[in-house]
Amino acid sequence: MGKPEFKSPRHRNALTKTRPLLKAKQGPVRSSANVRVVVRVRPPNERESGDNSRHVVKIVDDQVLIFDPKINSQAFFYHGVEQKGRDLLRKANKDLQFMFDKVFGYESSNAEIFESTTKNLINSLMDGYNCSVFAYGATGAGKTYTMIGNNDNPGITFLTMAELFKARENLQGERSFELGISYIEVYNEMVQDLLNPGAPLQLRDDGRYGVMVAGIKVHKIDNPDELFALLDKGNSNRTQHPTDANAESSRSHAVFQVYIQMEMKSTREVRAAKLSMIDLAGSERGSVTGYGGARFAEGANINKSLLALGNCINSLADGQRYIPYRDSKLTRLLKDSLGGNCQTVMVANVSPSSLSYDDTYNTLKYATRAKKIKSDVKKNVVNVELHVGEYVKIVEELKKELEKVRMQLTEKVSEKKVDSKLSIQLSKMIEDRKRLLDRMYNVECSENMVVLRRQLKEDADARLSGLLNATPDKEEAHRRLGNMVSRFHRQEDTLKTELTEIKLAKLDLETKTDELARQHPEMEKIVELANERLISTEKHYQVDLMQKKCSLLEEELKSRANLLEKTCKMLQSCYLQLRGHGFATDLMCEEYQSLVNHLQGRKNITWDSPIDSGLSSTSSVSSTDVEVRPPKRKLNDENINGLNHTFVMEPPKPKVKVCAEELMAKGGIDFLNAVITEIFYGVVSNLFVERNLYKTPNAIRKKRELCHAIKDKRARAVSATRVNAADLCNYNVPERDEFVTIVIRVMIKFNKSVVIRPNTFLMFFKNENRKEDVEQTRRD
Ligand SMILES: Nc1ncnc2c1ncn2[C@@H]1O[C@H](COP(=O)(O)OP(=O)(O)OP(=O)(O)O)[C@@H](O)[C@H]1O
pLDDT at position 299 is 67
Q: How far apart are CA 512 and CA 519, in angstroms?
A: 10
pLDDT at position 632 is 37
Q: Measure Cα distances from 750 to 203, 488, 658, 665, 676 in Å.
A: 129, 37, 11, 19, 11
Judged on CB neighbours under 10 Å (0-12, 13-18, 19+), 153 is middle
Domain that holds residue 342: 31-74+96-378
- Asked if 133 and 116 count as a contact pair (C-beta separation under 8 A), the reply is no
Among 75-79, 494-498, 740-744, which stretch is predicted with the lowest mean pLDDT? 740-744
pLDDT at position 565 is 86
Identify whether residues 311 and 249 lie together within a single domain.
Answer: yes
Distance (Å) from CA 140 to ligand 1 centroid: 5
Please indicate whether residue 352, judged by its CB atom, sits closer than 6 Å to ligand 1: no
- Asked if 34 and 342 count as a contact pair (C-beta separation under 8 A), the reply is no
| Percentage of residues in the chain having pLDDT higher than 70 | 60
Mutational test site, ligand 1, from 246, 301, 355, max ligand atoms within 8 Å of CB: 246
Distance (Å) from CA 131 to ligand 1 centroid: 24
Identify whether residues 491 and 470 lie together within a single domain.
Answer: yes
Q: How far apart are CA 258 and CA 320, in angstroms?
A: 30
Residue nearest to atom 9 of ligand 1 (CA): 142
Query: Is 173 annotated for ligand binding?
Result: no
Mark residue 688 as left, alpha or beta (left: phi above 0; alpha: psi -120 to 50; beta: remaining). Answer: alpha
Q: pLDDT digit string (tens) for 656-712?
A: 233 444 555 555 555 555 555 555 555 444 544 444 444 556 656 665 666 666 556
Q: Measure Cα distances from 616 to 27, 619, 621, 623 in Å.
A: 130, 9, 9, 13
Please indicate whether residue 137, judged by its CB atom, sits closer than 6 Å to ligand 1: yes
User: Does position 478 have pLDDT exceeding 70, yes or no?
Assistant: yes
pLDDT at position 348 is 92
Among 254-258, 390-394, 472-476, 577-581, which stretch is predicted with the lowest mean pLDDT? 390-394
Please indicate whether residue 35, judged by its CB atom, sits closer than 6 Å to ligand 1: no
Domain boundary among 315, 348, 378: 378
Which of 508-545 are b and which e, b meaning 16 or more Cβ less than 10 Å from the residue's Cβ?
ebbeebeebbeebeebeebbeebbeebeeebeebeeeb
Which CATH number characterizes residue 58's domain?
3.40.850.10
pLDDT at position 104 is 93
Average pLDDT of the segment spanning 545-552: 83
User: Does position 46 have pLDDT exceeding 90, yes or no?
Assistant: no
Identify whether residues 282 and 397 lie together within a single domain.
Answer: no
Mutational test site, ligand 1, from 42, 106, 151, 278, max ligand atoms within 8 Å of CB: 42
Query: Is 143 annotated for ligand binding?
Result: yes
> Does 633 map to a domain?
yes
Average pLDDT of the segment spanning 354-378: 80
Please indicate whether residue 761, judged by its CB atom, sits closer than 6 Å to ligand 1: no
Identify whether residues 147 and 223 lie together within a single domain.
Answer: yes
Q: How far apart are CA 580 and CA 598, in angstroms?
A: 23
pLDDT at position 671 is 57
As a whole number, the mean pLDDT across the chain is 69
Measured from the CA of 246, which atom of ligand 1 is nearest?
A: 26
Mutational test site, ligand 1, from 113, 145, 187, max ligand atoms within 8 Å of CB: 145
Identify whether residues 441 and 572 lie together within a single domain.
Answer: yes
> Does 271 map to a domain?
yes
* 59: nearest Cα among 107, 14, 130: 107
Mutational test site, ligand 1, from 48, 144, 241, max ligand atoms within 8 Å of CB: 144
Identify whether residues 687 and 643 lie together within a single domain.
Answer: yes
3-state secondary structure 645-658: CCCCCCCCCCCCEE
Identify whether residues 395 and 468 lie together within a single domain.
Answer: yes
Identify whether residues 722 and 697 lie together within a single domain.
Answer: yes
Which of 82-113 are b and which e, b meaning 16 or more Cβ less than 10 Å from the residue's Cβ?
eeeeeeeeeeeeeeeebbbbbbbbeebebeeb
Q: How far apart are CA 244 and CA 223, in angstroms?
A: 39
Q: How far apart are CA 127 and CA 181, in angstroms?
A: 19
Identify whether residues 369 and 441 lie together within a single domain.
Answer: no
Q: How is residue 149 annotated by DSSP? A: B
Distance (Å) from CA 146 to ligand 1 centroid: 8
Please indicate whether residue 282, judged by its CB atom, sits closer than 6 Å to ligand 1: yes
Q: pLDDT digit string (tens) for 620-632?
A: 333 333 333 333 3
> Does 91 map to a domain?
no
Average pLDDT of the segment spanning 647-655: 35
pLDDT at position 113 is 92
Phi, psi at residue 137, to the nearest 5°?
160, 170
Counted domains in the chain: 3
177 vs 334: which has the higher pLDDT: 177
Q: Rounded to an integer, what is the distance from CA 531 to the centroid of its chain?
A: 32
Prediction ipTM score: 0.98
Distance (Å) from CA 347 to ligand 1 centroid: 13
Identify whether residues 274 and 165 lie together within a single domain.
Answer: yes
User: Does position 282 have pLDDT exceeding 70, yes or no?
Assistant: yes
pLDDT at position 85 is 55
Please indicate whether residue 246, judged by its CB atom, sits closer than 6 Å to ligand 1: yes
User: Does position 186 have pLDDT exceeding 50, yes or no?
Assistant: yes
226 vs 728: which has the higher pLDDT: 226
Identify whether residues 659 and 548 lie together within a single domain.
Answer: no
Average pLDDT of the segment spanning 376-388: 50
1 vs 299: which has the higher pLDDT: 299
Residue nearest to atom 26 of ligand 1 (CA): 249
Distance (Å) from CA 383 to ligand 1 centroid: 38
Identify whether residues 255 and 333 lie together within a single domain.
Answer: yes
Residue nearest to atom 15 of ligand 1 (CA): 142
User: Does position 602 have pLDDT exceeding 70, yes or no?
Assistant: no
> Does 81 map to a domain?
no
Domain boundary among 335, 357, 378: 378
